[in-house]
Amino acid sequence: MLKQKNKTWIEISRNALIQNVRIFRRILGKKTYLMAVVKSNAYGHGAKEVVPIFLKAGADWFGVDSIDEALQIKELAKNAPILILGFTPNNRLEEVVKNGFRLTVYNDQTVESLGKIVKRLNTPVYLHIKCETGTSRQGVTLDKLVPFAKKITENKNLILEGLSTHFANIEDTTDSSYAKRQLVQFKRMYGALQNVGIKVSIRHTACTAAAMIYKETHFNMARVGIGLYGLWSSKETKKTVQKFGKKINLLPSLTWKSCIAQIKEIPLGTPVSYGLTEETKRNSKIAVLPIGYWDGLDRGLSSIGEVLINGKRAKIMGRICMNICMVDVTHIKGIHVEDEVVIIGKSGSSVISAEEIAEKLGTINYEIVTRINPTIPRIII
Ligand SMILES: *Cc1c(COP(=O)(O)O)cnc(C)c1O
């Protein structure tokens, strides 16, 4: 019988999370705050479960995408500063102020609206200007930076606390030249503010890869996401870290499990699943699994994905349905209905990593874990 009361669930290793926080604390040293980036349901690992562990293990700040995520994290980490990294619509700015969230800003309109709100509420709000240094995403360019900053500093309740930027390709290559150019531009932008006497207490540029590879990007805060969950930003990042002779042993913290709903024997030449896209090539035993693309098992894994049962690989047969898929278990002996199935993680001596799945789908591990349906229970072990 199943240990869990659900047909699919996620196990999160507390020890792995704590280890990973310690790794980044050590990399960053005492002078650099560690911001745990917990957007997208803590990279699919479960914000509710993960945030208290990060907090206890030594995360100083939390980074989120949206006001709604910020409201959720506040309930879990009452006193920790929370920075909203993404876009906030004008009609939610009052909530930012009232809840004391830090906001990333880059539009004049946002600053103007905030100016009115803080005046009306007579409450300060702490702002972080995002610098455009070459990612062509959010951010203010150098030519607009000083007037933009002045718009903030001329209002005593708008407090310019942070200056940030984000690297475009630091995890995509072992060649750091573009990142270095971005860093030079960021320093130039900080210098422009200093020249007009504007002080900014927190500067931050580093994501996981930058934090691991280039100390120069640390300043006084690093925004670390994927690494805290025990995943590498990319193969290239791993290669660069190894090249520098550093030993970093990230521990993947997530195991995604399900179970067998039915086992059946079907003869050679029988089509399996919608569209009759795949037929058995021998007399086969298949297991029906109660998970599908709604759960986050990408439909692109139809006929190419694998799962682990009793430490053995079982290939997905035919199309993945919304809530169900079938796997070939002809070669696996002694299996029963309700036996555990591993979608991501270890089973015996076998492993299916988020990276393996990402490679099959032509995407990155980030997308694999963040797309796991947030309604699936996360269980801390
Ligand atoms: C998501 C995000 C991060 C974290 O990146 P990782 O590669 O997961 O460490 C850092 N900064 C910003 C602005 C982000 O959006």
**206 phi, psi to nearest 5 deg:** -85, 135
pLDDT confidence tier of residue 346, bands split at 50, 70 and 90: very high
In a domain, 361, yes or no: no
Give the chain's mean pLDDT: 97
In a domain, 323, yes or no: yes
Can you tell me the mean pLDDT for 366-372? 98
In a domain, 358, yes or no: no
CATH number at residue 157: 3.20.20.10
Question: Of the residues 56, 235, 246, 274, which is catalytic?
Answer: 274
Distant-in-sequence, close-in-space partners of 343: CB < 8 Å, separation ≥ 6: 8, 256, 257, 258, 291, 297, 307, 352
214 given a catalytic annotation: no
Q: Are residues 276 and 231 in the same domain?
A: no
User: Which ligand 1 atom is nearest residue 65's CA?
Assistant: 15
In a domain, 87, yes or no: yes
39 given a catalytic annotation: yes
Q: What is the 3-state secondary structure (H, E, C) of the chain?
A: CCCCCCCEEEEECHHHHHHHHHHHHHHHCCCCEEEEECHHHHHCCCHHHHHHHHHHHCCCEEEECCHHHHHHHHHHCCCCCEEECCCCCHHHHHHHHHHCCEEEECCHHHHHHHHHHHHHHCCCEEEEEEECCCCCCCCECHHHHHHHHHHHHCCCCEEEEEEECCCCCCCCCCCCHHHHHHHHHHHHHHHHHHHCCCCCCEEEEECHHHHHHCHHHCCCEEEECHHHHCCCCCHHHHHHHHHCCCCCCCCCCEEEEEECCEEEEECCCCEECHHHCEECCCCEEEEEECCCHHHCCCHHHCCCCEEEECCEEEEEECCCCCCCEEEECCCCCCCCCCCEEEEEEEECCEEECHHHHHHHHCCCHHHHHHCCCCCCCEEEC
In a domain, 8, yes or no: no
Residue 72 Cα to ligand 1 midpoint, Å, equals: 19
Q: Are residues 125 and 233 in the same domain?
A: yes
pLDDT of residue 133: 98
Tokens of 244: 């520098």
User: CA of 67: how far to CAs of 99, 156, 162, 372, in Å?
Assistant: 10, 23, 18, 21
Task: Give yes or no for residue 2 having a pLDDT over 90.
Answer: no
Q: Are residues 260 and 234 in the same domain?
A: no
- Ligand 1 pocket test, candidate residues 21, 24, 34, 37, most atoms within 8 A of CB: 37
pLDDT of residue 4: 85
In a domain, 378, yes or no: no
Q: Taking CB atoms and a 6 Å cutoff, what residues make up the pocket around ligand 1?
A: 37, 39, 85, 166, 207-208, 223-227, 233
Domain limits for position 279: 254-352
User: Which ligand 1 atom is nearest residue 164's CA?
Assistant: 13
- Distance (Å, rounded) from C-alpha 202 to C-alpha 230? 26
pLDDT digits (tens, 9 = 90+) for 205-256: 999 999 999 999 999 999 999 999 999 999 999 999 999 888 999 999 999 9
Q: Are residues 209 and 141 in the same domain?
A: yes
Q: Are residues 266 and 220 in the same domain?
A: no
pLDDT confidence tier of residue 191, bands split at 50, 70 and 90: very high
Can you tell me the mean pLDDT for 128-154? 98
Distant-in-sequence, close-in-space partners of 339: CB < 8 Å, separation ≥ 6: 259, 260, 309, 310
Residue 172 Cα to ligand 1 midpoint, Å, equals: 14
pLDDT confidence tier of residue 78, bands split at 50, 70 and 90: confident
Q: Are residues 239 and 262 in the same domain?
A: no
Q: Are residues 175 and 311 in the same domain?
A: no
Distant-in-sequence, close-in-space partners of 353: CB < 8 Å, separation ≥ 6: 252, 344, 365
Task: Give yes or no for residue 202 having a pLDDT over 90.
Answer: yes
The total of structural domains in the chain comes to 2
User: Which ligand 1 atom is nearest residue 104's CA?
Assistant: 13
Question: Given 243, 273, 303, which residue is the final one in a domain?
Answer: 243
pLDDT of residue 178: 97
Q: Are residues 175 and 44 in the same domain?
A: yes
In a domain, 344, yes or no: yes
In a domain, 379, yes or no: no
- Distance (Å, rounded) from C-alpha 21 to C-alpha 37? 12
Q: Are residues 261 and 236 in the same domain?
A: no
Task: Give yes or no for residue 1 having a pLDDT over 80.
Answer: no
Q: Are residues 313 and 187 in the same domain?
A: no
- Ligand 1 pocket test, candidate residues 69, 135, 223, 250, most atoms within 8 A of CB: 223
Question: Given 188, 209, 243, which residue is the final one in a domain?
Answer: 243
Distant-in-sequence, close-in-space partners of 105: CB < 8 Å, separation ≥ 6: 111, 114, 127, 128, 129, 130, 152
Q: Are residues 34 and 182 in the same domain?
A: yes
pLDDT confidence tier of residue 3, bands split at 50, 70 and 90: confident
Q: 29, exposed or middle or buried, with CB in 10 Å at 0-12, 13-18, 19+?
A: exposed
User: Which ligand 1 atom is nearest residue 209's CA?
Assistant: 7
Question: Given 243, 273, 294, which residue is the final one in a domain?
Answer: 243
Question: Of the residues 7, 39, 74, 257, which is catalytic?
Answer: 39
Can you tell me the mean pLDDT for 83-87? 98
Q: Where do we find the tokens 């007009």?
A: 196
User: CA of 219: how far to CAs of 4, 95, 140, 165, 265, in Å?
Assistant: 45, 29, 20, 12, 61
Q: Are residues 286 and 149 in the same domain?
A: no
pLDDT digits (tens, 9 = 90+) for 265-318: 999 999 999 999 999 999 999 999 999 999 999 999 999 999 999 999 999 999
CATH number at residue 326: 2.40.37.10
